[in-house]
A and B are shown apart, each in its own frame.
Chain A
C-alpha cells in the first residue's frame, strides 16, 4: 500500500510537467516572438480572406458546363472609416446616400462587430471596380476583395448544376468551417459536391500604405495560410444532349432523364420549364431569385427528382416480371380481354384488340385486363392476400421504386409504393384484397414514381435485372466516381431473375415495331420501349414514354414525362426517340418531327394548377 501511494508523485509530476511546458510555450509565442504582437496592433496590416476558386465542372466529353469569373466585393471595416467622401463613393458604386446609410444601419442591426470586415457592396461590375480601384485611397476603411463567382457558358442544366449562394447564419452556426461571407452550394451538384468543389479558404496578411493601397505580404507571408483551390469535376452529362433535350421540352411541362445503363451515369436531366442559370449569379441574384420563385410555372422546381407521377402502363412490365418470378405467369399464359377487366363489381376498361392475349402481346398492345389478372394472381397466390401484397411490394421496391435511390443529387423524392399499413388504415385490416387495389396492376392509383426512378427502371430493364445508382458525376478531380464513392460502382440486383427479362425485352422491341411506340422507331437501331399515361385528377393526363437502345447492347435508357399531353405516343415517345437518335448518331434525320416537338406548346388549360402531385416526405 505504501509503495502504491508514492505513485501520486508520478501523476502529480506529470501535471506539473505539462503545465510548465505550456507556460514555456506561452512565454515563447507571447514574449520572445514579437511578430504576433506587431501584426495585431498594427492597423497598417490588413487580413484578407483568400477565397480560392471553386472547382469547375466539365461535361462527359470535356466541354465546360460551369466556369468561374472574377468578381469584386467592396468591403468595409466600419471602425476604420473616417472622412469618407460619401457622395463620391455612392456615385462610383451607383447607390444613393440613403443606400449608404442603410448599409451601416443594417450592419448595426445584425450586431456586426465594428472592427470586422463586412461586405459593403457585393459583386461589383468590372467597370465599377476599375473606377473604384483608382480612388480607393480616398476611402479609408474600404477595400476591395477579389473572389470568383460562377459562369455558365451554355445556359443549360440549371436544375442539375444547382446554384451557389452566401452561407446563412444557421449554416455558420452549425458548421465548424463556414464563416459569414463564405459561399456554399445550395442545390444540385453544387450542393452535393460542395466539399471538393469549394476547396478551402485561406488568409493573407498584407501591409498597406498611407494611401490605403496594398503593398507587400507581411513578414514574408509567415502568418498566411494559403487557400486551396477546389477540385474540378467531370460530369456524366452530355452537354449537347442536355441542350437538345431542353430545346425539345420548351413550352412544355415535364422532364427527361437519360441514363447510360451499364454505368448508371446520367446523360441528361431536363426539367421543364427551366431557367438560365446565369440569372442566379452576381449582383442581380436575389432579385432574379424572387422573380423565379414567384413564377406560377415553378421554374425552380426540379421535376426530374421532385415530381411524383403514377407510372401508368410502363409499370405493366414490372408486373410481368414479378408474375413470372413468383410463378403465376409464363410467356404462354393467356387471358381474354373483352374491352376490359370485370370481377367482383370492379371494372377496368381496355381498348379494342384481338383476344385472348399472351404475355408478349399483352405488352405490345398494352392490355389492361391482362395486368389486372396478373396482379390479382400475384396477390392471391399467398394467404392472406395482405401477405401477397407485401410480397409484391418487396419485389416492386427492388426496382428502385418507393424509396430514394439515392443518386448523388440532393432533394430526391421517395415516390410511393403504398404500404400494406396504408391500406389497412384505409379499409381496415383484413378488409381489402387484390380487387380493392387492382389499379396498381396497371400503374395507376396511389403509385408515385419520379422521372429519375423511371429512368433508372428503364436502365434496369436494359440491363436485364440490375442497376447502378444513377449519378451525375463521373470523376472528382482525376478520381473515378466509383473510387471516390464506391456506392456508385455497385450493382443492385432486382429480385427477379435474369431469365425472365428476355421475354419482356422482346415485347418492348415489338412495342416499337408494331405496338404503341411505332412513332418512335428509328431506322437502323433496334429499340425497346413502352408508352404510358399517368392519370391526372387535375386535368388532361400526362404522357409517358420509356425507351432504351440498342436492345442488344444498350447505350442509353431514357424516361420522358410530358404533363397534360395525353397519350404517351403523342409527345413523350417522339421526344424520347429524338433524344436517343441524337445521342447515338450525333444528329437527327427527322427535321419535321424535331420541328413539331420543339415548337409544340403543351401547357395546362387551367392556370395555377400544378399537375405534378408532389408527395410529402
Chain B
C-alpha cells in the first residue's frame, strides 16, 4: 500500500499529461483523416479510429501494468528482454506475412498483426542502459564503444533484413545516448555522416557520392586544424572508410539480401533501372507535393476539425499513418500544428530534464534513449511531410495510426516514468 501511494506521488505528472494530450490529439486526427459526414459512428471497429481507440485502451492497460511493476525488474531483465526481442525479430523474417514487400509483421490472430521492430526499440534502450550503466564502464575504452555499437547494430541488421529500412535507420539516433555518456563529439558528426551516407548511397549515383566525400575530406583538411601530414592521412583514411561504407551498403543490398528483397528496396528507392527510377522518384515527389498542399491549405487557424478536404485518402496515400501530420496542418492550421510541435519539444526537453536528475546511470541512459528516438521520429516524419526530409516510412509517435507503433512508444515512455518514480529510493 505504501509502495503504491509513493508511485502515485512520485510519478512525473507533466510527462503523463503530455502523453495523454498527444495520444488524444492523435486519435482526433485519425478520426478526422477518415471522417465522413455520411457515416458517423465513433467506435466502429471497421474504421481506423475505432481500432485506434481499442489500441489506446490496450496501451492504457499496459502502461498501468508497467507503473505497478517493480522498477528494479527492468535493469535486472534488460538483457533477457533484449535477447527475446532479437529472437522475435529474426523469427518474424521467416514467420511474418508479407506487407508491401517487407516481412516485419507477425500475425497475432483476430485480423491483427504486430510489428516487433516497433517494440525492439525499448528493449535496445534497456540493454544499452544496462550495459553502459555498469559502474566500471568507461566510454573512452574501445571495447565499450564496440559492444555498444553491436547492441545497436544487431536490431538494425535484422530489421534491414525484414525490409523495413525506415525503422532500421531510427536506431542510429542512439548515437546521442553514447554522446551523452562520453563518446567524443566527433562521433556525433560521424553518426550524422553515416546516416546521411546510408541514404545517399542508395539514392545517388556512386560517382557523385564519391565526389561529395572527396570534397568534404578536402574541406575538412583545409579549414580545420593544422595542416600536418599525419592529419592528411587521418582525413584520407576517414574518407576512404566512407567510400568503403557506401560499397558495403551496396554489398548488403546486392549480396546479403535476397534478390527479391533488394529489388523491392531498390524499387522503393527507385533504382531498378533508369525508367523505373524516375517513376519511383516521381511517386515520392507526388506524395510530398500533395502533403505540402494539404498542410499549406490550413492557413493560420486551419479549416477546423474534420473539415479538411485535401487529406482523407484523397490524393496522398497513408494519410492516417506516415502522413498524419498533413491532417494536423490542414485542419488545425499554423497555430495548431506549431502547438503540436511545441508539445513534442516540451516532451523531449522534459525527458532530458528527467534524465539529468537521476542518480542511477541506468535510468539516465534509458531516458536519453527515449529522447533520442522521439527526436528522430519527430524530425524525419514531420520533415518528410514538409518536404524537408527524404520520404522514409516511419510513424509520428503517438499520432500515427497503428497499434504496434503506439504500443512501442507507450512502453518506452512508461518504463521511463516508472524508473523515474523510484529515483528517491536509490541512495
Cβ of A177 under 8 Å from chain B: yes
Interface string of B291-309 (1 = CB under 8 A from A): 0111111111000000001
> Chain A residue with minimal CB distance to B378?
A18
- Say how far A143's CB is from chain B's closest CB, in angstroms: 16
Cβ of B312 under 8 Å from chain A: yes
Cβ of A614 under 8 Å from chain B: no
Which of chain B's residues have a CB closer than 8 A to the CB of A174?
Answer: 99-100
A47→B312 contact, CB < 8 A: no
Cβ of A281 under 8 Å from chain B: no
B275→A8 contact, CB < 8 A: no
Identify the interface centre among A22, A25, A116: most chain B CB within 10 Å of its CB: A22
- Say how far A345's CB is from chain B's closest CB, in angstroms: 46
* Given contacts A12-B349, A15-B349, A174-B100, A30 and B298 within 8 Å (CB-CB): yes
Identify the interface centre among B182, B293, B310: most chain A CB within 10 Å of its CB: B293
| Those of B240-266 within 8 Å (CB) of chain A | 259
Do most interface residues of chain A lie in helix, strand or loop, or is the interface mixed?
helix
Q: How far is the CA of A200 from the CA of B270 in the complex (A)?
A: 12
B378→A115 contact, CB < 8 A: no
> Chain A residue with minimal CB distance to B376?
A18
Interface string of A196-236 (1 = CB under 8 A from B): 10011111000000000000000000010100100100000
Contact among A5, A113, A200, A231 with B286 in the assembled complex (CB-CB below 8 Å) = A200
B334→A27 contact, CB < 8 A: yes
* Given contacts A179-B317, A203-B290, A228 and B352 within 8 Å (CB-CB): no
> Chain B residue with minimal CB distance to A34?
B299
Which of chain A's residues have a CB closer than 8 A to the CB of B356?
Answer: 5, 8
Tell me the total A-B contact number using a CB cutoff of 8 A.
166
Q: How far is the CA of A116 from the CA of B312 in the complex (A)?
A: 10
- Say how far B182's CB is from chain A's closest CB, in angstroms: 6
Cβ of A84 under 8 Å from chain B: no
B296→A36 contact, CB < 8 A: yes
Q: How far is the CA of A35 from the CA of B292 in the complex (A)?
A: 11
Cβ of B278 under 8 Å from chain A: yes
B309→A115 contact, CB < 8 A: yes
B388→A30 contact, CB < 8 A: no
Cβ of A16 under 8 Å from chain B: yes
Contact among B100, B176, B293, B315 with A176 in the assembled complex (CB-CB below 8 Å) = B100
Cβ of A484 under 8 Å from chain B: yes
Cβ of B282 under 8 Å from chain A: yes
A175→B329 contact, CB < 8 A: no
A36→B292 contact, CB < 8 A: yes
Stretch from A37-45, A361-369, A448-456 at the B interface: A37-45
Cβ of A26 under 8 Å from chain B: yes
Which of chain B's residues have a CB closer than 8 A to the CB of A111?
Answer: 36, 38-39
Q: How far is the CA of A329 from the CA of B36 in the complex (A)?
A: 75
Contact among A108, A199, A223 with B289 in the assembled complex (CB-CB below 8 Å) = A223
Stretch from B201-209, B227-235, B337-345 at the A interface: B337-345
A22→B286 contact, CB < 8 A: no
Contact among A21, A31, A175 with B299 in the assembled complex (CB-CB below 8 Å) = A31
Cβ of A354 under 8 Å from chain B: no
Cβ of A479 under 8 Å from chain B: yes
Which of chain B's residues have a CB closer than 8 A to the CB of A5?
Answer: 356
Which of chain B's residues have a CB closer than 8 A to the CB of A200?
Answer: 279, 282-283, 286
- Say how far B183's CB is from chain A's closest CB, in angstroms: 10
Interface string of B33-62 (1 = CB under 8 A from A): 000111100000000000000000000000
> Chain B residue with minimal CB distance to A117?
B314
- Say how far B47's CB is from chain A's closest CB, in angstroms: 9
A39→B297 contact, CB < 8 A: yes
Cβ of B333 under 8 Å from chain A: yes
B275→A47 contact, CB < 8 A: no
Q: How far is the CA of A514 from the CA of B6 in the complex (A)?
A: 100
> Chain A residue with minimal CB distance to B287?
A176
User: What is the interface residue range for chain B against chain A?
Assistant: 35 or more
Q: How far is the CA of A487 from the CA of B372 in the complex (A)?
A: 43
- Say how far A21's CB is from chain B's closest CB, in angstroms: 8
Q: How far is the CA of A279 from the CA of B259 in the complex (A)?
A: 37
- Say how far B311's CB is from chain A's closest CB, in angstroms: 10
Which of chain A's residues have a CB closer than 8 A to the CB of B273?
Answer: 476-477, 479, 483-484
| Those of A467-482 within 8 Å (CB) of chain B | 476-477, 479
Identify the interface centre among A30, A39, A41: most chain B CB within 10 Å of its CB: A30
Cβ of A426 under 8 Å from chain B: no
Q: How far is the CA of A278 from the CA of B121 in the complex (A)?
A: 53
Which of chain A's residues have a CB closer than 8 A to the CB of B317?
Answer: 175-177, 179
Cβ of B348 under 8 Å from chain A: yes
Which of chain A's residues have a CB closer than 8 A to the CB of B393?
Answer: 176
Stretch from B69-77, B84-92, B145-153, B379-387 at the A interface: B379-387
Identify the interface centre among A4, A18, A41: most chain B CB within 10 Å of its CB: A18
Q: How far is the CA of A15 from the CA of B376 in the complex (A)?
A: 9
Contact among B39, B176, B276 with A11 in the assembled complex (CB-CB below 8 Å) = B176
Interface string of B391-402 (1 = CB under 8 A from A): 001000000000
A29→B180 contact, CB < 8 A: no
Contact among B259, B279, B297, B309 with A37 in the assembled complex (CB-CB below 8 Å) = B297
> Chain B residue with minimal CB distance to A5?
B356
> Chain B residue with minimal CB distance to A114?
B38
Q: How far is the CA of A228 from the CA of B100 in the complex (A)?
A: 22
B180→A7 contact, CB < 8 A: yes
Cβ of B318 under 8 Å from chain A: yes
Cβ of B12 under 8 Å from chain A: no
Q: How far is the CA of A7 from the CA of B185 in the complex (A)?
A: 9
* Given contacts A11-B371, A196-B275, A477-B275, A225 and B334 within 8 Å (CB-CB): no
Q: 13 pairs across A/B with beta carbons < 8 Å? A: A8-B356, A10-B179, A11-B352, A15-B348, A22-B383, A26-B329, A114-B38, A176-B100, A196-B276, A225-B282, A479-B273, A483-B273, A487-B259
Q: Which residues of B contact A (CB under 8 A)?
A: 36-39, 99-100, 176, 179-182, 185, 188, 259, 267, 272-273, 275-276, 278-279, 282-283, 285-286, 289-290, 292-300, 309-310, 312-315, 317-318, 329-330, 333-334, 337-338, 341-342, 344-345, 348-349, 352, 355-356, 368, 371-372, 375, 378-379, 382-383, 386, 388, 393
Query: Which 3 residue pairs across A and B have the least CB separation, nearest first?
Result: A36-B296, A40-B297, A29-B296
Q: Which residues of A contact B (CB under 8 A)?
A: 4-5, 7-8, 10-12, 14-16, 18-19, 21-23, 25-27, 29-31, 33-37, 39-41, 47, 108, 111, 113-116, 174-177, 179, 195-196, 199-203, 223, 225, 228, 231, 476-477, 479, 483-484, 487
A11-B371, A29-B295, A195-B279 provided; 17 other pairs, C-beta below 8 A?
A11-B176, A11-B179, A11-B352, A15-B375, A23-B338, A25-B388, A30-B333, A34-B299, A37-B296, A39-B297, A40-B294, A47-B315, A113-B36, A116-B312, A200-B279, A223-B289, A479-B275
